[in-house]
Amino acid sequence: MELLIGPKSRPRGAPRRRVLALWIGVALTGLSVAACLGLAEPRRSEPSFPHAVHLQDKQLDCAFCHGTARSSDEPGMPPPELCTTCHERFDPEKPPERRLAAFYGERGRYRKVADATLPEDIRFSHRRHVTDARLDCIDCHGDVAAQTEVPLGPLVVKDDCMSCHERVGKRNECRECHVGIDRSTRPPTHDAGFGRAHGEVFRHASTRSVDRCTLCHDEATGCRACHEREAPRDHDNGFRLRGHGLVAALDRARCSTCHTRDSCTECHQDTRPRSHRAGFGAPANRHCGGCHSSAAEEGCAVCHQGTPSHAAANPLPADHHPGMNCRMCHGNGVVLRHEDPGLSCTSCHR
């Protein structure tokens, strides 16, 4: 009797179709997750205002539309009545999505494209910047006059504000712009486990304010001073004896946070590396292959500063020149007296 689950009970293409369906499902799931996380390209839900047409082509001033920018904390958005004077003449020739009515919703409210809403604790005034400080619009908004559509992201970023404050001699203290935040305010991410995780956060170089250590911590008096007192958690005895060499080779900058070159030299002059056991410097010179690289040669010189063997290498014969391919003869039937690490022969034999 033939089993229902046997090979003859299903079409040959069924497994392939199932695999294809599975991959399609994974792809759709990935796109959905990316959209939720903000990784997908954002789409516009409203028509975007062309600044170039109004500021360059029509030679309008910014204050013509943003009427309260010089007198109020808010820049103000133009009411539809202000635009109707011109648009009633040429709107009938435009597609509906480019007409004036497309830019306004209920009760004549302008449909904003960019999310320019500031957090509740931010203290900002257009009047103080435009009238009191006499800044021009382009000082904060850049090439806004050439924009054919409003950017979807923030119109001004925090780094621009802080850079400008530094140029004009204004202190970048938190309370200058934030209502309830100062340098003593502990970010919500700084919980009990943050001490263990903060290194990864720092190396990730996130641009979020909550992840930017330098906003509160000075490198010289904060990070360096702390790490010089307290060793990282991975600096146990195993790391000291075996692991630190590999870490130093991969990320020397991390070590230099606390350790200067002098400290490495001082230790290694007295302590032989664990790889230097019996047979390491045998006649076969097996140690050469592990040391002949740009970083390792520098490491050898920490201890072997007076070794004359490399400087005393045989010179090139008179009928040889540096451009010759030495390996066409040497090592190809001609025995070498040392291991061939693959470097240029003329680096030693000159």
Query: pLDDT by residue (tens digit) across 172-185?
Result: 888 888 888 887 88
Mean pLDDT of the chain: 76
Mean of the pLDDT values across residues 335-339? 74
Q: Above 50 in pLDDT, residue 143?
A: yes
Mean of the pLDDT values across residues 134-138? 89
The 3-state secondary structure of the chain, one letter per residue: CCCCCCHHHCCCCHHHHHHHHHHHHHHHHHHHHHHHHCCCCCCCCCCCCCHHHHHHHCCCCHHHHCCCCCCCCCCCCCCHHHHHHHHHHHHHHCCHHHCHHHHECHHHCECCCCCCCCCCCECCCHHHHHHHCCCCHHHHHCCHHHCCCCCCCCCCCHHHHHHHHHHCCCCCCHHHHECCCCCCCCCCCCCCCHHHHHHHHHHHCCCCHHHCHHHCCCHHHHHHHHHHHCCCCCCCHHHHHHHHHHHHHHCHHHHCCCCCHHHHHHHHHHCCCCCCCCCCCCCCCCHHHHHCCHHHHHHHHHHCCCCCCCCCCCCCCCCCCCCCCHHHCECCCECCCCCCCCCCHHHCCC
- What's the maximum distance between 2 C-alpha atoms anywhere in the chain? 95
Q: How far apart are CA 182 and CA 103, in angstroms?
A: 40
Contact call for residues 147 and 52 (beta carbons, < 8 A): yes
Rg of the Cα atoms in the chain: 34
Contact call for residues 118 and 22 (beta carbons, < 8 A): no
Q: Above 80 in pLDDT, residue 268?
A: no
What pLDDT does 320 receive? Answer: 86
* Token pair of 254 as six digits: 């991390």
- Look at 96-105, 121-130, 199-208 and tell me which has the smallest mean pLDDT: 199-208
* Token pair of 284 as six digits: 């076969």
- Look at 38-47, 97-106, 216-225, 325-334 and tell me which has the smallest mean pLDDT: 38-47
Output 83 or 116, whichever has higher pLDDT.
83
Q: Above 60 in pLDDT, residue 19?
A: no
Contact call for residues 215 and 209 (beta carbons, < 8 A): yes
pTM for the complete prediction?
0.51
Contact call for residues 126 and 61 (beta carbons, < 8 A): no
Q: Above 50 in pLDDT, residue 7?
A: no
Output 125 or 207, whichever has higher pLDDT.
125
Q: Above 50 in pLDDT, residue 248?
A: yes
Output 280 or 234, whichever has higher pLDDT.
234
Phi, psi for residue 160 in degrees, rounded to 5: -65, -40
Mean of the pLDDT values across residues 253-260? 75
Confidence of residue 39 (pLDDT cuts 50, 70, 90): very low
Mean of the pLDDT values across residues 57-80? 90
Confidence of residue 119 (pLDDT cuts 50, 70, 90): confident
Q: Above 80 in pLDDT, residue 339?
A: no
Q: What is the pLDDT of residues 73-108, one digit of tens each?
A: 988 888 889 998 888 888 898 888 888 888 888 788
Contact call for residues 301 and 248 (beta carbons, < 8 A): no
CA nearest 111: which of 121, 122, 96, 100?
Answer: 100
Q: Report in angstroms the alpha-carbon separations of 226 from 63, 152, 235, 273.
A: 51, 41, 15, 29
Q: Above 60 in pLDDT, residue 326?
A: yes
Contact call for residues 257 and 223 (beta carbons, < 8 A): yes
